[in-house]
Chains A and B, each alone.
Chain A
Amino acid sequence: MVETGFRSIITDGLWNNNQALVALLGLCPLLAVTNTAINGLGLGLATTAVLVSSNATVSLIRNFVRPEVRLPVFVMVIASFVTAIELGMNAYFHELHKILGIFIPLIVTNCAIIGRAEAFASKNNLQRSLVDGISIGIGFTLVLVTLGGMRELIGQGTLFDQAHLMFGEVARGMTLKIEDFPGMLIAILPPGAFIGLGLLIMVKNLIDKRVVTKATTQTETSEGAAGVTT
């Protein structure tokens, strides 16, 4: 019983209720910073850290905070964590912090975070809220990295450019570059973010649809229709 509960929290966060692809929350930072995979990863991890801390705190205080002041308290908790994490990033990932700049404080306005605090953490215990925070965060990060990687690859012909900002000098070798590829500028420009996100949502819906049809054909025809599924 408990196990299936956790499993559904995880699949919801990563796939079924992915905040970026299904709930379409947090689009402002999502669209703005995903011009490279590393930028996406940086913002994704910062968002995950905020989500996990705020979910845990909200879950711990859920029986103690009166409903009238619930939302202001949540906002205060989130804003404090965001500021603390921003200071931490400035101290330990200074170069990356310079690039992500304004978008770290803007995590406060990411509706996905207050959304999870209100919809999930305020009604569930600590373990479940932690698992929810982690899976929602990873789901969001994966979309950011995928979209960033796509735009970077098409736009400037590199992948994991500036990885050293995040992982130190050893990671310089991580950067892949397609030689003699000038890049399609549109992918880096803002429209590229919208087009890229649209394509990602399309791919997700196609996969979901295929899974559903697969399931129905399997139950309808018990045997003999194996050729259809393969």
Chain B
Amino acid sequence: MDKRLPVFIAAAILGIFAIAGTSLVAFTHTATKARIAANERETLLRSLYALVPSESVDNDMVLDTLQVKDPEQLGAPVTTVYRGRMQGDPVATVLTTMVTDGYSGPIKLLVAVRYDGTLGGVRVISHKETPGLGDKVEEARSDWIYSFTGKSLGNPSIEKWRVKRDGGVFDQFTGATVTPRSIVTAVKKTLIYVQANKDALYDKQASSDGVTAKG
């Protein structure tokens, strides 16, 4: 009994601190939960509106989503599709395409395709490409990513959807061809996917409160 007692006291102390620590984390989580969710929503909405102007849609694009599975064309096992509508009519879809054959690790894209098949724009959300070389695909580092805006499968023609080195129309960077090449291919595949599934992507399912909350 005498020898066991200190062990129990030690265990009790450890337990008290476990409870105190967990309480602190739980309390902070509760206090910040709403704000973090709002931040994430705002960040997402800002990047969506950069591609699909907020005045061209009147639905809540963050909630009006669809999950599609086509790893062949879109890279990731599951791809989220954000739909933009104006008074119920389709305006544009934004797909979270993943580039799997970049220079180092996956590159996550947002690809906005308007209902007429032209690109509303492309943005890189995250990547691990070489700083100073491949990272020129970032909006903050160069204007390259803007070169997609307005393009479509017919403009340029399908065989011109390559970087210039491969005989296409898109610039590559000095010292970095792999990154732009893989992004051009991924955007092209996304366009092909959207063209093939055009109406299914705007399906009304999972969009019960489509016409509410203006951004």
Which residue numbers of A lie inside 8 Å of B, CB to CB?
35, 64-66, 68-69, 72-73, 76-77, 79-81, 83-84, 87-88, 90-92, 94-95, 98, 155-156, 183, 185, 188-189
Contacts and interface: CB of A to CB of B under 8 A. Distances in A.
What secondary structure prevails in chain A residues at the interface with B? Answer: helix
B24 A84 contact: yes
A76 B6 contact: no
Interface residues of B, number: 26
Interface string B4-27: 001101110110011011101100
Contact of A88 (B13, B21, B32, B40): B32
The dominant DSSP class at the B interface is helix
Given A91-B32, A185-B132, A66 B17 contact: no
B148 to A, nearest CB: 24
Nearest to B22: A80
Contacts of A88: 28, 32
Interface of B: 6-7, 9-11, 13-14, 17-18, 20-22, 24-25, 28-29, 32, 35-36, 39-40, 43, 130-133
A184 B7 CA distance: 59
A106 to B, nearest CB: 17
Which of B10, B17, B18, B32 lies at the interface centre, i.e. has the most chain A CB atoms within 10 A of its CB?
B17
A64 B13 contact: yes
A69 B6 CA distance: 11
Given A66-B13, A91-B39, 6 more contacts: A69-B14, A76-B18, A84-B24, A87-B25, A87-B28, A94-B36
